[in-house]
Amino acid sequence: MVVLVSGGMGYIGSHTTVELLNQGYEVIIVDDLSNSKDVVLDKIEIITGKLPKFYKMNILNEEDLETVFKENKIDAVIHFAAFKAVGESVSMPIEYYHNNLTTTLVMLKLMKKYSVKNFVFSSSATVYGEAKTMPVEEEAPLSTTNPYGATKLMIEDILRDVYKANKDMNIAILRYFNPVGAHKSGTIGENPSGIPNNLMPYITKVAIGELKVLSVFGNDYNTVDGTGVRDYIHVVDLAKGHIKALEKLSTNSGLVTYNLGTGNGYSVLELVKAFSKASGREISYKIVDRRPGDVGTCYADPKKANNELGWIAEKSIEEICEDSWRWQSNNPKGYN
């Protein structure tokens, strides 16, 4: 089975590519390398012993992407390629809406033209906005608080309409909680450019001494220690969820939507503590004001994915921290 992976050189895309290759899928990557590096391809080959076909292109360009559909017989598409920084999306809404929506529409248009029926979409728990009840189920009300999140929800709505009009399509909407960790080999991992926005890469950069002190955004939430609680899921567990989703689509599932999370919440300070233990490094932190737009608590009800996909997040918070640390300490400068 041939799977086209857009954004396959990125953090989640590269880990998913590794799992696909390990499971015997043939993978074609399209990526413009705007937020990744070409060495990722070599690293994927080192881990799996297989070299996926790679097209360096920006999929906003329909003509370019069409060459991929012309040259290959594609069975399924996993669409990761997108802009993903929440803060940046607030200051660059036009770019975010244009990029995230148009790339998806171009992909869907070509899938239709070339009769490719299976589509997996990278959505996010951000579509639950400020969810009222925890853990959050797939049926919870949807809303967003920033343009990045809005693009995810808009694309979900587009996919629901596309499915209504094309009942022979199979579409999996996967809502990720907080992806962290890295491949066990320490070969691939998260490689944010500049100062990380997200918690785990910030912690790992404090641990190697590149950044001095972690700012903890608020300690007055209604949580175990006042700091924000999230559902941190190992990126390899998340990657495996995509394989299970493809298997589901192959049964002619129609449109399906799943939370990919562990079902457990950890506070910022709990994660800091677990990471210190795993790495043997002290993580300096200071409490600062809440970050605008943050919610106090967010964790998944993953039962639907557990039951219908036969998938479960298996890796513990300890393993997550060990793997994040191995990646960062083996690669102090990331892929640079």
Interface with ligand UD1: number of residues (CB under 6 A): 21
Does position 118 interact with ligand UD1 (CB under 6 A)? The reply is no
Q: How far is 47 from 162, CA to CA, in rounded Å?
A: 37
148 is catalytic: yes
Does position 93 interact with ligand UD1 (CB under 6 A)? The reply is no
123 within 8 A of 173, measured Cβ to Cβ: yes
Which 177-196 positions form the footprint of ligand UD1 (CB under 6 A)? 178
Q: How far is 157 from 302, CA to CA, in rounded Å?
A: 21
Question: Residue 74 CB, nearest distance to ligand UD1 (Å)?
Answer: 27
Q: Which segment (198-206, 237-245, 274-282, 320-328) binds ligand UD1 by CB under 6 A? A: 198-206
Nearer to ligand UD1, 158 or 211 (CB): 211
Nearer to ligand UD1, 68 or 206 (CB): 206
User: 130 is written with which tokens?
Assistant: 């400020």
Which listed residue (43, 205, 230, 234) binds ligand UD1 by CB under 6 A? 230
206 within 8 A of 283, measured Cβ to Cβ: yes
Residue 232 CB burial class (10 angstroms; 0-12, 13-18, ≥19): buried
Does position 335 interact with ligand UD1 (CB under 6 A)? The reply is no
Does position 215 interact with ligand UD1 (CB under 6 A)? The reply is yes
Does position 228 interact with ligand UD1 (CB under 6 A)? The reply is yes
Does position 306 interact with ligand UD1 (CB under 6 A)? The reply is no
Q: Which segment (57-65, 98-106, 197-205, 245-253) binds ligand UD1 by CB under 6 A? A: 197-205
Beta bridge partners of 5: 29, 78
Quick one: which of 147, 19, 52 has its CA closest to 94? 147
Does position 199 interact with ligand UD1 (CB under 6 A)? The reply is yes
95 within 8 A of 85, measured Cβ to Cβ: no
Nearer to ligand UD1, 217 or 335 (CB): 217
Nearer to ligand UD1, 118 or 144 (CB): 144
Which listed residue (48, 72, 166, 198) binds ligand UD1 by CB under 6 A? 198
Question: Residue 270 CB, nearest distance to ligand UD1 (Å)?
Answer: 11
122 within 8 A of 111, measured Cβ to Cβ: no
Residue 14 CB burial class (10 angstroms; 0-12, 13-18, ≥19): buried
Q: Which segment (19-27, 49-57, 288-296, 303-311) binds ligand UD1 by CB under 6 A? A: 288-296
Q: How far is 143 from 127, CA to CA, in rounded Å?
A: 6
Catalytic pick from 25, 96, 128, 148? 148
Nearer to ligand UD1, 42 or 220 (CB): 220
Which listed residue (93, 192, 293, 334) binds ligand UD1 by CB under 6 A? 293
Which 141-160 positions form the footprint of ligand UD1 (CB under 6 A)? 146, 149
300 within 8 A of 230, measured Cβ to Cβ: no
224 φ/ψ angles, rounded to the nearest 5 degrees: -55, -40
| Residue whose entry in the numeric block shows the structure tokens 């991992």 | 189
Nearer to ligand UD1, 84 or 183 (CB): 84
Burial of 63-89, coded b for 16+ CB within 10 Å and e otherwise, reads: ebbeebbeeeebbbbbbbbbbbbbebb
260 within 8 A of 304, measured Cβ to Cβ: no
Which listed residue (268, 272, 305, 313) binds ligand UD1 by CB under 6 A? 268
What are the residue numbers of the active site?
148
Residues that bind ligand UD1 (CB under 6 A): 84, 86, 124, 126, 146, 149, 178, 197-199, 202, 214-217, 228, 230, 268, 291, 293-294
